[in-house]
Structures are given as structure tokens and as C-alpha cells.
Amino acid sequence: MFTIPGNIIERRAYTSRIEPFIRKPIIKVFTGQRRVGKSYMLFQIIKKILNEEPDANIIYINHEDLQYDFLVTAADLVAYIKSKSVSEKVNYIFIDEIQEIPEFEKAIRSLLLDNQNDIYITGSNAKLLSGEFATFLGGRTVEIRVYSLSYSEFLQFHKKEDSEESLEQYFLYGGLPFLVNLNLTDEIVFEYLKNIYNTIVYRDVVTRHNLRNTHFLEQLIRFLADNTGSLFSSKSISDFLKSQKVMIPHNQVQSYNGYLSDAFLLNRVLRYDIQGKRIFETGEKYYFEDIGIRNAIIGYKPDDKAKIIENVVCNELLFRGYDIKTGWKKGHETDFIATKNNEKIYVQVALLLDSKETVRREFGNLLEIDDNYPKMVITADKNYRNTIDGIEHKNIRSFLMEAI
């Protein structure tokens, strides 16, 4: 019998989205990078169910726990769950890191045939809901993408007040939930983050895809960390690495980037033609799911502050449920086009508006977009104007503290 941890901090942004689907014949799927708190989301749901139904039949499986090593096939998984099920009663089934079980989709399809089964699963790969799984289940799933802590959640978890010091800690260490158990010092935090990084790279990328050129993979990740938020193509990355005596074809760069995105280490942002209303076939940006892991890879440098702020804004928009792309019009770039519920916002990010040229560039790009959706420029300026030519100017702390 498993024990629910006693130190659970509710992440209301997620539990409120899943509550309407509890006890419904639809599979609840939590996806996201390792250690962002997917397991604790399951515990929060279990706790809620037990509060409402103290004698509920809870079946919990964590495939990373050695006690479940005997579950090596889909048939093993089904047999075990059936042995723990109770007839004429709802069976609440929770399976953590389900991608570790080969052909797990067959097991889930079989379990879904019984309307008494209420199923929740987690996975650390973006392909979890693709291919056979999606075909088998025919839309009977709801996916909740779990992200690293937002800034407001970081304050909640660490019991901190919103301040410049708190924001700097967030920029430096990121938002993996387990940090709440550590002293927030460089030596301790970065050692932990490096271990998480190695687990993601070698377990979810190298082993999963049977990669041999691990040296190139590490070089690629360092390149992406050093160029966070830059717009480039697989070919341009390949050409740069060749100049550094790292010889790799651009199609392999594309594959490796895909593997890193599938493992949720990176978030890939496609380039959108604002005028032609289409996705470009080449050119994209990459941002780290957790900014702390990015800093653990290449170090935290003051010169990188603009990149870090842009990465944090990207993550905040994703956390708020936006689909994001980078915009392109007449050779000018808009950092983010964020879309949710058929509504858009345009977002430009800069470190400081420290010159007329910077103001003209950051606001001018948005002024060229001739629709009426909200547009904003987010910076770290302490003294900032509410609007410039009708475009909002927001301080990064104020933006991150807005209600979702």
C-alpha cells in the first residue's frame, strides 16, 4: 500500500482543470518533463477522491518503483490491476510513467472497456498520445501538460514574497518543485539540476532512441542553451557546429532537436508568417522547459539576462494555456504570438528600453501588425510607461504576477 506524501502543495491551476473529468469514462493524461510534479498531481487527485470517498478503491502503480518491476508487459499490467479491482465499485487507477511499459496502449484500451475504471496516467514523452494510443482510444483522453513552477507558484512553494530578490532566485534556479526541499545555494541546486538533466538526456533521449553520438548531443544542447530564443534552422545549427569542428548533417540535427522536445527538455516555437498566415517550413526557436536546468548546463551569466527573461515569458505563456509561435512580417520578428480560445496577444520581450532605438525597434515591430488584438512589450525596467502608441509596456515582475 502506498502512502500519500504529507507535504503536498496544491497546484490549483491544474487540479481545477482535471476536476470536471473525475469519475468520467475518459483517460486523464498528465505529460511533462521529469520532476515537474506529475506524480504529485496524481497524489492531489487521490487525496481529493479519498476526502470525498474514504473507502475508495485506489490502485496506484509507479513503474519507477522497484516493487513494480514485475510489470514488464501490457498483459502483466492488466492482470495486476484486475487482481486489485473491486466489482460493482469505481476503481481509481493511477499509473505513473506509463511509457516504461511496452505497448501500454493495449493495456489502457482493455481497461477502458470497463466503465467502472477511472484512469489517470503520467508520461515523460510528448509522443505518449500519438500513434497507436490515439488510434486505439479515439479521442477518449484529456491531456494536461504539467510545467515547471510558474513564478507565482515558486513564491507559493518557497513561502516567499514577490520581490526583486525572489525574482532573481527564480531566474537563477528555475521552478522544479523539489527545490523546496533544498537550500537555495548554487552548489546544492545546480548539483541537483545536473542530475535531473542527465536523467532526461540519457534515459529519455539516448536510451529511448538508441543514440550513439552522445558527444554531439551534448554539444547541441549547450549550443541551444547558449542561444536560447535565437531564430535558426537545423541547417544553420549544422553549419555553425561544423565551424567548431563538429561534423553533423542538418537532418540529424533536426532529429535530435525533435528528441529533446519530445522529452520536454526544450519547448520548440515555430515561425509564423503574420502577413501570409502560414507556418514557415524552416526557422524556429527553442526555450528550456526549466530555466534552472539551462543555467546548470552553461552557467548563469549577467549578459544572458535578456535571454533568460524571454525564456521565462515563454514558459509563463505556456503555463497560462497559450499556444505560442514566433511572428514574422516584412523581415521583422515578433517574439511571441500567443493564442488561446481563438483570441491572440502579441508579445515582445527586451531587457531594458535604454535607448530611443530600442524603443523604436521593440514597439515598431508591433505597430506594423494591423489588427486589434492586444500587444505588449515586457521588460525589466523599474520605471515604465503604461502604454506607448497604444501598446502596453509591462514590467516582468508585474506580468508574472498577473492573475491567470
Per-residue pLDDT of 306-335, as tens digits, reads 999 999 999 999 999 999 999 998 888 999
Confidence of residue 64 (pLDDT cuts 50, 70, 90): confident
Secondary structure letter of residue 143 according to DSSP? E
pLDDT of res. 331: 82
Arithmetic mean of pLDDT, 166-180: 98
Three-class secondary structure of residue 395 per DSSP:
strand
Arithmetic mean of pLDDT, 132-138: 70
Give the ranges where 53-149 is alpha helix by DSSP (H). Answer: 74-84, 104-112, 131-137
pLDDT of res. 59: 97
Residue of higher predicted confidence among 44 and 332: 44
* CA of residue 398 relative to chain centroid, distance: 22
Block residue for cell numbers 492573475:
403
pLDDT of res. 221: 96
Q: Angle formed by the axes of helices 291-298 and 214-226, to 10°? A: 110
pLDDT of res. 170: 98
Secondary structure letter of residue 232 according to DSSP? B
pLDDT of res. 1: 61
Arithmetic mean of pLDDT, 76-92: 96
Please give the Cα distance from 203 to 196 (Å, whole number).
10
Confidence of residue 131 (pLDDT cuts 50, 70, 90): low
In degrees and rounded to multiples of 5, residue 34 shows phi and psi of -55, 140
Please give the Cα distance from 25 to 291 (Å, whole number).
37
Percentage with pLDDT > 70 across the chain: 98
Please give the Cα distance from 78 to 149 (Å, whole number).
34
Cβ-Cβ contacts under 8 Å for 129 (sequence gap 6 or more): 29, 31, 141, 143
| Residue 73 grid cell | 508487459
**How long a stretch of residues is the chain?**
404
Confidence of residue 132 (pLDDT cuts 50, 70, 90): low
The pTM (predicted TM-score) of the whole model is 0.95
Confidence of residue 57 (pLDDT cuts 50, 70, 90): very high
In degrees and rounded to multiples of 5, residue 55 shows phi and psi of -100, 25
Per-residue pLDDT of 244-301, as tens digits, reads 777 888 899 999 999 999 999 999 999 999 988 899 888 899 999 999 999 999 999 8
| Domains of the chain from N-terminus onward | 12-145 (3.40.50.300), 151-400 (no CATH)
Three-class secondary structure of residue 166 per DSSP:
helix
